[in-house]
Chains A and B, each alone.
Chain A
């Protein structure tokens, strides 16, 4: 592989990794606060894509209006899921909530099949993302450059939000101690609802970028990105936002490099992700950035 090839593949890896990272951030946020692995995250992403598709393709809205609308609607959906499915189980054992999350995931997938149908729909890519830059033999789609930039901006904004605002402070407090937080006059349900709203809006943003990069959407499209993002979140240290970013980039890069260097093993790229998951769970269960949990 020559230098141009390597650069090309590095850029491919960076873009894929950033997409994983963006989705992983939403996973990790909910986990950080509720200690709940929200397995429905990938399917929330799918619904977000359909909202944007209805906005942009069906109603002909400009893409950024469709994106904003989709994020708002998906945030509302996230709150609704929390209220309907997770809130009644707040005091139940963690495993009950986890099983409910899987149930919500199946519910959304099958609801999607009934409402939107099983046929994939073509997603439009806005003109500004369709431009191709060329340096020598390296060709890059402008979207591939925008994705890492947008991911970095969202990550920075999220870190500021968590560390600099009262809501963020309440979220961090809640993740430490639910009972004490209530004694301090904070309504935990409000904070949790806000977490779900934020996490789901991020899922919608990630989903729309994903659908612009790989321009087809279907009701089962969220399954694999959701699982990969979960792996990324665990790799980085689940509950840690910066870790999710790192995990996503690492996973994306590893997948692309596997296929690039060993094309005959390309069929095993999904397997690679899960081998990495098993590896990190055995050798460093807290992930790259994770802290030792006081049990």
Chain B
């Protein structure tokens, strides 16, 4: 009880000091170092661009309080506590990976601070939470899209799964993929595991070689995906590789080289699949600012910033409860990743399928929910 009172006190103080300083502080808890560093750094690029574009809300300047969660669950909790208690933020953007978001979400929920994740796709992140939202689709959908693509386009009858057991994202999506793939008449012939940071996959791939699947589903981070692809090709495995949204990073191609050629993955955004006017504007501005193509994380971070500010404007306040209520009613938001509506705190929107071709990501298809 005492703790709750303290928290409430902190919140009141937050509102008080923010008003006095006329600043709207947004906490950003992203992985700037560690295995997910690439995602965090691209996400910040998107956020910075969004802030440049729209520096004020309700007539007050926005300030981003960026804290590194080191791609680590414990650090994600610490970082969320830090921005909420020390920086007294009014809302939180983050985390990116599902595992980090699952660790930070209870902190935001308990402190009653709205949290909006740009990229965490595991369904548990927002489940049974009043203050936690996301701007991306969830893995039951992404897994089903991948399974349908594998069955219908790749004509796969059998699949081997390689799951990163230290990531909630990977474990979750592999399960949803398996369910959808079996429902469509396919068969999972082998399930094998690894941990983020592993570098040797020869043993797992040896087992897959013996199981002779039609395709290999590897919903992992880009570093592991690239190393798996290289070692698979060296061992003579020629099956198509299929991955999820965490594969979308330039480093996948830099590290994977020729071995990742032909790799397919499902993701949120590609500049060739842009449909909205704000999307076209974003791609042009991003290319001008950073001289590279935007990826899903940067686009979703950009959308998170704008969706949050929209909610504040609709609520006409930065009060946590009002902003949360407004966020929950987000409808037909013209995001750069498409027009989206939040249903049960999750975005419902199409997925994009990309393939690595000639050292670039090539657009294959858009799949509607």
Give the B-binding residues of A (Cβ under 8 A).
Answer: 1-2, 5, 8-9, 12-13, 15-16, 113, 117-122, 132, 134, 139, 141, 210, 213-216, 218-221, 223-224, 255-260, 263-267, 269-270
Chain A residue nearest to B234 in the complex (CB)? A141
Those 5 A-B pairs whose CB atoms lie nearest each other, nearest first: A118-B37, A259-B203, A267-B193, A214-B199, A118-B33
* Chain A contacts for B41, CB-based, 8 A: 118-119
Contact with A along B195-209 (1 / 0, CB 8 A): 101111011101101
* Chain A contacts for B227, CB-based, 8 A: 214-216
Q: Are B236 and A1 in contact (CB under 8 A)?
A: no
* Chain B contacts for A210, CB-based, 8 A: 199
Q: Are A5 and B210 in contact (CB under 8 A)?
A: yes
Q: Are A139 and B236 in contact (CB under 8 A)?
A: yes
Chain A residue nearest to B256 in the complex (CB)? A122
**CB within 8 Å for A119 and B203 given contacts A220-B34, A266-B192, A266-B194:** no
Q: Are A214 and B190 in contact (CB under 8 A)?
A: no
Q: Which of B32, B38, B166, B254 is most buried by chain A, counting CB atoms within 10 A of its CB? A: B254
**CB within 8 Å for A215 and B230 given contacts A9-B203, A118-B37:** yes
Q: Are B223 and A216 in contact (CB under 8 A)?
A: yes
**Chain B nearest CB, measured from A295 CB (Å):** 38
* Chain B contacts for A221, CB-based, 8 A: 199
Q: How large is the interface on B (under 10, 10 to 19, 20 to 34, 35 or more residues)?
A: 35 or more
User: Could you tell me which residues of chain B, from 249 to 283, have a CB within 8 Å of some CB in chain A?
Assistant: 251, 254-255, 257
* Chain B contacts for A218, CB-based, 8 A: 35, 37, 223
**CB within 8 Å for A113 and B255 given contacts A119-B38, A267-B195:** no
B235: interface (CB < 8 Å): yes
Chain A residue nearest to B162 in the complex (CB)? A266
Q: Are B236 and A134 in contact (CB under 8 A)?
A: yes
CA distance A219 to B37 in the complex (A): 11
B165: interface (CB < 8 Å): yes
Chain A residue nearest to B71 in the complex (CB)? A118
Chain B residue nearest to A143 in the complex (CB)? B234
B191: interface (CB < 8 Å): yes
**Chain A nearest CB, measured from B141 CB (Å):** 26
Give the A-binding residues of B (Cβ under 8 A).
Answer: 32-35, 37-38, 40-41, 165-166, 190-195, 197-200, 202-204, 206-207, 209-210, 223, 226-227, 230, 234-236, 251, 254-255, 257
* Chain A contacts for B230, CB-based, 8 A: 215
Q: Are B255 and A120 in contact (CB under 8 A)?
A: yes
* Chain A contacts for B37, CB-based, 8 A: 117-120, 218
Q: A9-B203, A117-B37 are in contact. List 18 more A-B contacts (CB 8 A).
A: A5-B209, A9-B206, A12-B202, A119-B37, A121-B254, A132-B234, A141-B234, A210-B199, A216-B251, A218-B35, A218-B37, A223-B197, A224-B197, A259-B192, A260-B207, A263-B207, A264-B192, A267-B165
CA distance A220 to B71 in the complex (A): 12
Q: Are B255 and A259 in contact (CB under 8 A)?
A: no
* Chain A contacts for B254, CB-based, 8 A: 121-122
* Chain B contacts for A264, CB-based, 8 A: 191-193
Partner of B200, one of A5, A122, A214, A257: A214
Q: Are B192 and A1 in contact (CB under 8 A)?
A: no
* Chain A contacts for B165, CB-based, 8 A: 267
CA distance A141 to B199 in the complex (A): 16
Q: Are A16 and B207 in contact (CB under 8 A)?
A: no
CA distance A80 to B32 in the complex (A): 29
* Chain A contacts for B206, CB-based, 8 A: 5, 8-9, 12, 260
**CB within 8 Å for A16 and B200 given contacts A120-B255, A139-B236:** yes
**Chain B nearest CB, measured from A57 CB (Å):** 10
CA distance A140 to B235 in the complex (A): 7
Chain A residue nearest to B41 in the complex (CB)? A119
Q: Are A12 and B33 in contact (CB under 8 A)?
A: no
* Chain A contacts for B166, CB-based, 8 A: 267
CA distance A141 to B202 in the complex (A): 11
Q: Are A263 and B234 in contact (CB under 8 A)?
A: no
**Chain A nearest CB, measured from B41 CB (Å):** 7
**CB within 8 Å for A256 and B223 given contacts A118-B33, A119-B37, A122-B254:** no
**Chain A nearest CB, measured from B38 CB (Å):** 5
17 A–B contacts, CB within 8 A, in A order: A1-B210, A5-B209, A12-B202, A113-B33, A119-B37, A119-B38, A120-B223, A122-B257, A139-B236, A210-B199, A218-B35, A224-B199, A255-B203, A263-B190, A264-B191, A266-B193, A266-B204
Q: Are A139 and B204 in contact (CB under 8 A)?
A: no
Q: Are B200 and A263 in contact (CB under 8 A)?
A: no
**Chain A nearest CB, measured from B42 CB (Å):** 10
Chain A residue nearest to B190 in the complex (CB)? A263
**Chain B nearest CB, measured from A141 CB (Å):** 5
**CB within 8 Å for A122 and B210 given contacts A132-B234, A214-B200, A267-B194:** no
**Chain A nearest CB, measured from B260 CB (Å):** 11
Q: Are A122 and B255 in contact (CB under 8 A)?
A: yes
* Chain B contacts for A267, CB-based, 8 A: 165-166, 193-195
Partner of A216, one of B32, B33, B209, B226: B226
